[in-house]
A = this chain, B = another copy of it.
Amino acid sequence: MAFIDLNDGSAISGMQAVVNEGSAAWDALDAGGVSTGAALRVKGKLVASPGGKQAAELAVEEIDVIGTADPETYPLQKKRHTLEYLRSIAHLRPRTNTIGAVARVRNQLAYATHTFFQEHGFLYANTPIITASDCEGAGEQFQVTTLLNGFGAGEWTTPASVVDEQEAMNKDGSIDYSQDFFGKPSYLTVSGQLNGEIMACAVNDIYTFGPTFRAENSNTSRHLAEFWMVEPELAFADLNDDMDCAEAYLKYCLNHVLEHCDEDLEFFEKNISKDNLRERLRNVASQEFARITYTEAVEHVLNAKKKFEFPIEWGSDLQSEHERYISEEVFKDRPVIVRDYPKDIKAFYMRLNDDNKTVAAMDVLVPRVGELMGGSQREERLDVLERRIEEVGLEKESYWWYLDLRRYGSQPHAGFGLGFERLVQYVTGVENIRDAIPFPRYPGSAEF
């Protein structure tokens, strides 16, 4: 007897196919070609499995080798490969247990996202990827251009030739961006929020779910140059509505994967997180999140009996170690929403609280990870928003359309953002965010 572990990629556990010596199928085995990574068409009878490992197995009658995989060269052998090595063969790594399971969990989290918001009447809105609007600018942005197009490495004989040939040079030697595709410098978006506000101020609650980009030169296990964000925006809503929505959304996602991906989560529990992963997720999904102010959070950290790497004082940002201390120790492994942060460490568009010192911002902290989502009520008062834009040194003129939303039929609205790969990382326990997306982009790497 020979056993074949057949797997079509739809689940961790394959189907055990049993070939009896002397059968017609046995001859096919003898002929070779049935090896790790080969694609097979197998016919047989589904029978109860005598072993305890699976309920049923396939008693094989016919084997057809559709695609071979030479064992001498096939890069995925049965042994365990490191996740680092697998990243170098991203075209084959979704065939492994770990990366395949990530793909399935990621899919269920994406579908849960759509289902949750659709069931609550949110419209899915596609905000732009390329933007020449001056409003963005948070973080470093990738530039999008057609001025260099066709000038690959080595083909650009002198720097001047580009501007000559493209006639894209001003008399003073600067680039004439009126010759670029969009008529001005344009960039990849860092967030769909401002456009999301446009939509929410028109068609009621919306959510975005699309790629965003950061050209930060950071080679860490927590950053990607290209990542997907979920950004709901709630019309006629305040910070409490926003927190309620974030809590309900996260719980919905966790319950959804617990229900639909149990086998994959069990695999991560045993092989990746090596702890009580599912219990932790169930715990977060079933508890009411604690809600405290930033000021209370700082007090908790200052009163802690433990030493932190980074000191804290009112006005400085919470570090990951502080966030984890609060959610893991102060609140005993319970998610915590911290609200009302000092205005000086938050974005200009967050609504100024009556104390004039804090803004209606909130971060959702979860045990083990720290911040998973962040949001705010948006400043809907035209005069306050204009003042804030000036205070932080931005140009009011660039924000003309954003200000128009406050000029015409302004209304209180609020939203939050979730880095989708962070959620995948959190749910699967994979340590490096590069394993939470099929084709990760980071400094020096945009292969495949």
Question: Which positions in A face B, CB cutoff 8 Å?
Answer: 8-10, 37-39, 66-70, 73-76, 90-92, 94-95, 100, 103-104, 106-107, 110-111, 114, 118, 121, 123-133, 140-146, 148-149, 151-163, 169-170, 172-177, 181-186, 188, 195, 198-199, 201-204, 210-211, 213, 215, 217, 225-226, 228, 235-236, 380, 401-402, 404-412, 437-439, 441, 443-448
Contacts and interface: CB of A to CB of B under 8 A. Distances in A.
A149 B145 CA distance: 11
B144 A188 contact: yes
24 contacts: A10-B204, A37-B408, A67-B410, A69-B407, A73-B407, A90-B198, A91-B405, A94-B198, A126-B211, A127-B438, A129-B226, A130-B441, A142-B145, A142-B149, A153-B175, A153-B177, A157-B173, A159-B159, A161-B173, A182-B446, A183-B444, A195-B438, A198-B448, A199-B438
Contacts of A203: 9-10, 94, 100, 103-104
Nearest to A141: B149
Given A100-B202, A159-B173, A123 B107 contact: yes
Contacts of A127: 438-439
B441 A182 contact: yes
A198 to B, nearest CB: 5
A161 to B, nearest CB: 8
Contacts of A151: 175
A186 B204 CA distance: 38
Contacts of A441: 128, 130, 182
Contacts of A149: 140-143, 215
A70 to B, nearest CB: 8
The 5 closest A-B pairs by CB, nearest first: A67-B410, A94-B202, A132-B446, A9-B203, A91-B401
A201 B123 CA distance: 33
A10 B185 contact: no
A167 to B, nearest CB: 13
A406 B438 contact: no
A143 B144 CA distance: 6
Given A127-B439, A130-B225, A225-B130, A173 B158 contact: yes
A211 B129 contact: yes
A24 B195 CA distance: 37
From A75, A133, A142, name the one whose CB has the most chain B CB atoms within 10 angstroms: A142
Given A74-B408, A91-B405, A181-B443, 14 more contacts: A8-B235, A10-B204, A37-B409, A92-B202, A111-B114, A111-B124, A128-B438, A140-B146, A143-B144, A143-B148, A144-B144, A144-B188, A161-B173, A210-B211
From A158, A162, A163, A217, name the one whose CB has the most chain B CB atoms within 10 angstroms: A158
Contact of A204 (B9, B129, B159, B409): B9
Contacts of A103: 123, 125, 199, 202-203
A446 B174 contact: no
A83 to B, nearest CB: 16
Contacts of A162: 159
Contacts of A92: 198, 202, 404, 408
A195 B439 contact: yes
A130 B142 contact: yes
Contacts of A133: 446-448
B9 A202 contact: yes
